[in-house]
A and B are shown apart, each in its own frame.
Chain A
Amino acid sequence: MTTMTAQTTQVYQLFIKATPEAIWDAITKPEFTIRYFHGARVENTPERHRGYGPNGENWGDSPTLEYDPPHRLVHGWQSRYSPELAEEPESRVTWEIEPQEGGYCLLSVTHDQLDGSPKTAESVSGPGWMMVLSGLKTLLETGDVLDPDRA
């Protein structure tokens, strides 16, 4: 297999059978994120994007750049859960929720502005975002937590 240099713009897309409002809540409220976001309590307000670890550690604290419920959320990203990653400059995460036919929504997550943050890019790429997004889908569609050992 070819070795991969983690991409400076990463795009993830998936269909979720849920309303835009339910997806918005699951993304922005800590009581939902703790069940699929690597155990993080993430809170998005119109001003800040904050994440807390299991013991209240600061895992993220970045500005909210756009806040348009339940369609579009853009916030800064700094991986404060690791001292090494926390030193890298802030990158950007964009969530877009587009309703489709049949009760589905297309959720797009774009993590970009990673040019100056190669370690962060490597850390979130592949299984990083994928575990979060497939966990989010499972939670919304079945109410279950995906693989609690790894959540």
Chain B
Amino acid sequence: MSRRTRVVLGLASLAALGGLLVWAVGGLPDLGHPRGPYAVLAPKIMLRERHVTNTVTGVTFDLRGFDTLGEELILYVAALGAAVLLRAQRSDRAAEQAAEAEERRGPGTADALRALGAILVGPVVLLGVYVVVHGALTPGGGFQGGVLLAGALLLVYAAGQSAAVQRVRPVSLVEVADALGAASYVLIAISGLVFGVAVMDNVLPLGTTGSLLSGGFVPVLSIAVGVEVTAAVTLILTELADQTLLRGRD
């Protein structure tokens, strides 16, 4: 099929799809009046039965905790898949060594970037840890904080001389952290079996609403996810960054 035919056919079907979608959203509830009973029930349940003030995190790690388990494993498998796909090309040991020698001679990172990176790493790590551990109280949670922490690690990567960081970068540590984060969520989820309750059923004390140690499983799972997301995002981004370095040498 020629490109032109395809575009014409595509535009025709897009017009049809657009019409169907407009018809479909016409049947949605009016904006501003959510119909689902959980819109009202979820905040009450999380506040009274779990002492969690951030309902979104509460829903993610408690009401929908089992779905989040699957979601977290999707992220784990995706990081694994990206690493496997990108590393397949790196088997050529000789080319890699030649490239490393070249990198050692390559120009360093600009001083301004290094200084900025050094200044920002501390605050970003602090912010990331804060967002992860306060997930049950204020806006945030494991996923959001994990991405912030991965950003801090990549700041080190970007600000340092990339070749130097590449050689000492603890990839195996990142991989272990990824696996530990994913495994601890599963273990926490099935820990209820020890106490004779259902999977994902809370067995921890709920604490005082609004204090850091409250919410039962919610902050614990948030931290497990934070570790996993930090490691998975770091792994994916460093693998892709390595490709850029390899490409520059081709």
B is a partner of A: no
| Interface residues of B, Cβ cutoff 8 Å to A | none
